[in-house]
Structure 1
């Protein structure tokens, strides 16, 4: 797939270079390790903010997941990435692989912010609140998941409805009975969310 096709598929205003994921992964592996946290964050932020091609943001997104440097003080930065990235290819990775782990490790800090996002005007913050617990399995904060889904269940936005179904479908792998009861108790849940949630039940 070439750059114009990649841009059209992603419906991206930012152009593509046409570099596919395997090549980006190889590039990342060839880069020297950044030992200093401040230097790392500066590199990630500069690459993201000054990107003129979407692949540059993909590289910044990958670099942002360096496990050595993850801590709750990065939440404002991840919030910036969510709002400025503003599309599922950026937001979904930030939600599930950046915000989610921080939520599990420091719920006292991250949980109130996720609750705020669940009712925010920005749909990508709201989608993040719904899907950030993907992969949490038995560590899922059920009350938080409930609050975030219920806050967005009536929204007609496709990405929110799809996100709700996705979050519930994944949690059904751990608690199928809970998800079935949850969906049955909410007749107003959109057909899309309902169908996705019950897909494997």
Structure 2
């Protein structure tokens, strides 16, 4: 896939918007909450102390007041927030900006390069899970001919977080889930002993079980001991035993 992020090295982000985001986050912060938030997330990057509801309230008028004019400026601004972040909430704000309703038409298969950087450099579940299921998933649904082969490649990648993304990107698909893709991504990772991969496998199967519990039961039985106990337990959690 053409990597559009690399091509934006000379594109300037909207520094005024970046500054306004930082001001809003500082104003909404409760410093007393920051140490606990950092400890819970096991984060080397410090927190300001802005829980998600307060962050959303603080950023809503900031994003509404200043609309970015084109996909390149939007991407560059997202990357400016992401790459220059001093506090974790600034990276959360970058993810929020990618999902703002004003930029729905900017969500194209070429945007995958932006999300790939965020997945691989963020490299932790709080970033990756939202990007995977709420950003990359819709790209897959909109343009499977381009994004599906990428997810198959990611499922075999050396990077843990690309692989997790490939497994959980269809969490919201329900009956539209591409089972061949899901199972291929799972099968590529059955031998992985990492907690985040095993949890992702179980989570993806558990989510699809709301749509077709019989199929999930069949898949779990078919994979037998190749499926880790954690993945099996998660997959069958909401399925009534027969």
Under a length normalisation based on structure 1, what TM-score does the superposition of the two structures give?
0.97
Q: CA deviation at 1:33?
A: 3.9
Counterparts of 1:1-201 in structure 2, within 5 Å, are 2-31=33-62, 32-37=65-70, 38-66=72-100, 67-187=104-224, 188-201=226-239
Q: Which residue of 1 aligns with 2:7?
A: none
Q: Is the 8 A contact 2:168 2:200 kept in 1?
A: yes
Cα drift, residue 153 of structure 1: 1.3
Secondary structure (helix, strand or coil) at the match of 2:223 reads: coil
C-alpha distance in 2, partners of 1:114/1:142? 13
String of CA shifts for 1:136-180, please: whole Å, max 9, x gaps.
011111100010001111111000000000000000111111110
Q: Which runs of 5 or more residues in structure 1 are unaligned?
A: none
Partner deviation per Cα, 1:104-145 (whole Å, 9 max, x = no partner): 110000001000000101100000000000010111111000
CA distance in 2, matches of 1:15, 1:154: 34
CA contact (8 A) 2:75 2:114 kept: no
Structure 2 gap segments, 5+ residues each: 1-31
TM-score using structure 2 length: 0.81
Deviation at 1:35, TM superposition (A): 4.1
Q: CA deviation at 1:39?
A: 2.4
Q: Is 2:133–2:168's contact at 8 Å kept on the other side of the alignment?
A: yes
SS of 1:12's partner is coil
Kindly tell me the number of residue pairs found equivalent between the two proteins.
201
Larger Rg: 2
Q: Which has the higher contact order (CA 8 A, sep 6+)?
A: 2
C-alpha deviations, 1:19-48, integer Å up to 9, x for none? 111221011211114141232222111000
Moved more, 87-96 or 25-34: 25-34
